[in-house]
């Protein structure tokens, strides 16, 4: 894949308020920081993140999507993070069918205190996406779908 040197990945991270969101906060406030390519969307639980959200985020042009939930067994709603993992796996299979790299979607697990680990995960994701290059769906803007148009309004 050809890739312009100035490519800066746009990654949406759905972060659980109980863990990853706090971890991101911690990382942001400390020396370790995380790449600016990561755009955080807070969710009450990763169990709230549906497959549709992941697919639409990519359709709308994000280069990558990260779902960050609590450590296994530590979900405030028992199994929300496990459901999220199943959906991420499902969407990765679907991406393969669609013709996009499954690596563009990833699930990670951190606790509220794991700021360093969050930053590491974010950096790794960012590097993966940088290597993959931009989301090919973002390039031709001419044929924007209905949802593209809708999201452009909100951006």
Binding site for another protein (CB under 8 A): 50-52, 55-56, 58-59, 94, 97-100, 136-137, 140, 143, 145-147
| Rounded Cα distance, 38 and 153, in Å | 21
Nearer to another protein, 143 or 154 (CB): 143
Nearer to another protein, 49 or 58 (CB): 58
CB of 139 to another protein, least distance (A): 10
SS3 68: strand
In the complex, minimum distance from the CB of residue 76 to another protein, in angstroms, rounded to a whole number: 20
What 3-state class would DSSP assign to 15? Answer: strand
In 30-136, where do the E strands start and end?
Answer: 38-43, 64-69, 105-109
Closest CA to 43 of 64, 21, 22, 26: 21
Q: How far apart are CA 11 and CA 33, in angstroms?
A: 15
Minimum distance of another protein from residue 14's CB (angstroms): 17
CB nearer to another protein: pick between 48 and 123 = 48
- What's the min distance (Å) between Cβ of 6 and another protein? 23
* 17 vs 94 by CB, closer to another protein: 94
């Amino acid at each position: 894949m050809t890739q312009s040197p100035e490519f800066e990945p746009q990654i949406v991270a759905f972060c659980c308020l109980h863990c990853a969101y706090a971890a991101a906060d911690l990382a942001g406030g400390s020396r370790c920081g995380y790449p600016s390519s990561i755009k955080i969307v807070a969710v009450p639980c990763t169990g709230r993140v549906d497959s549709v959200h992941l697919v639409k985020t990519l359709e709308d042009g994000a280069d990558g999507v990260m779902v960050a939930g609590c450590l296994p067994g530590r979900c405030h709603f028992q199994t929300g993070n496990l459901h999220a993992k199943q959906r991420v796996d499902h969407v990765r299979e679907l991406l393969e069918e669609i013709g996009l790299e499954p690596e563009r979607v990833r699930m990670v697990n951190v606790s509220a205190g794991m700021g360093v680990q969050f930053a590491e995960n974010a950096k790794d994701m960012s590097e993966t996406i940088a290597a993959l290059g931009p989301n090919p769906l973002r390039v031709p803007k001419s044929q924007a779908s209905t949802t593209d148009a809708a999201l452009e309004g909100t951006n």
